[in-house]
Amino acid sequence: MDRSRANQILEEWTAVASAARRPDAPPRPVVVRGGLPSAGLAGAGVFVVALVIAVLWLGRPGPNGSVGGPSPVPSASATTAPSATIAPSATPAAPSATATPSATTIPSAAMTPTPKPTIGPCDPATLSARITLWEGAAGHRIAHVELTNTGSVACTVRVMAKPQLVDGRGSILIDGTRPSTTGSLNVAPGGLLKTLVQDGNYCGPAPVPPVTVAFVLTGGGRIVATPVSPTDATLPPCNSAPGSAGDIEMQPWAR
């Protein structure tokens, strides 16, 4: 029992006891028939008083308006409180990590050499030859000849050609032989090649000036060199019978 409630009962008991009046004359002894002693009667009186107090106390309205006794104690059984609903997190879901592509080794491109442009044989029309000098030795004459590529593209020239000694009318005074040597030289635009042409034993009629040399190209075509002068009539001496054949040969073209 609550301690304050017990104190309240004791106070009410004290108030009831103090309110009880003593009789003016002592009570007359009562003869109890049945053999009960007087002490038993006194205890019964006390019981009656206690019963009255209990009835009065039980009859008082309780704190909650009910009659008698202490207010009922609420059941100890816990009322199940509604569980707190966990609100979804306001934090946006982190975007899934985008897989970083692994570094792929790119095979290095094979270094393909740039093909050199194909250089073809020179067009005879783009080649210009000229005699720069005549020399004589032991019955022979030697012409110094230069060959220039006057075209706009590079081309090739065979290192050897068939040489001829010609006069101003284009007549062949001495005819050479076709070369057996092969091989070519690249000649850039404006490029220059040089050679020496030697002839001997001319026993024919007097030529029409100017005398010069020509080159019959292996691939076809003919180049006539510009003479030293328009009146040049340089011929090798005749060392055989009249009408005998002469000889002519050239050195390979060189830079």
Per-domain residue ranges for the chain? 1-18+40-65, 124-250
Type of residue found at 194: K
Q: Which residue in 92, 139, 160, 163 sits closest to 235, CA to CA?
A: 139
pLDDT of 34 reads: 44
Distance CA 139, CA 136 (A): 7
Distance CA 164, CA 248 (A): 7
Distance CA 29, CA 110 (A): 144
Weakly modelled stretches of the chain, pLDDT under 70: 1-3, 6, 13, 16-17, 19-110, 113-117
Residues 6+ apart with CB under 8 A from 196: 142, 143, 144, 145, 250, 251
Strands of 192-200's sheet in order across: 127-137, 140-149, 192-200, 247-250
Type of residue found at 177: T
What fold, for 124-250? Immunoglobulin-like (2.60.40)
143 close to 131: Cβ distance less than 8 angstroms: yes
Distance CA 29, CA 2 (A): 42
pLDDT of 191 reads: 97
Distance CA 197, CA 164 (A): 9
pLDDT of 109 reads: 58
DSSP β-bridge partners for residue 212:
166
Distance CA 129, CA 195 (A): 10
Is the pTM of the predicted complex or chain greater than 0.85?
no
If 0-12 CB within 10 Å is exposed, 13-18 middle and 19+ buried, where does residue 242 land? exposed
Tokens 């107090």 locate to 53
pLDDT of 181 reads: 83
16 close to 49: Cβ distance less than 8 angstroms: yes
* HEC readout, the chain: CCHHHHHHHHHHHHHHHHHCCCCCCCCCCCCCCCCCCHHHHHHHHHHHHHHHHHHHHHHCECCCCCECCCCCCCCCCCCCCCCCCCCCCCCCCCCCCCCCCCCCCCCCCCCCCCCCCCCCECCHHHEEEEEEEEEEECCEEEEEEEEEECCCCCEEEECCCEEEEECCCCCEEEECCCCCCCCEEEECCCCEEEEEEEEECCCCCCCCCCCEEEEECCCCCEEECECCCCCCCCCCCCCCCCCCCCEEEECCCEC
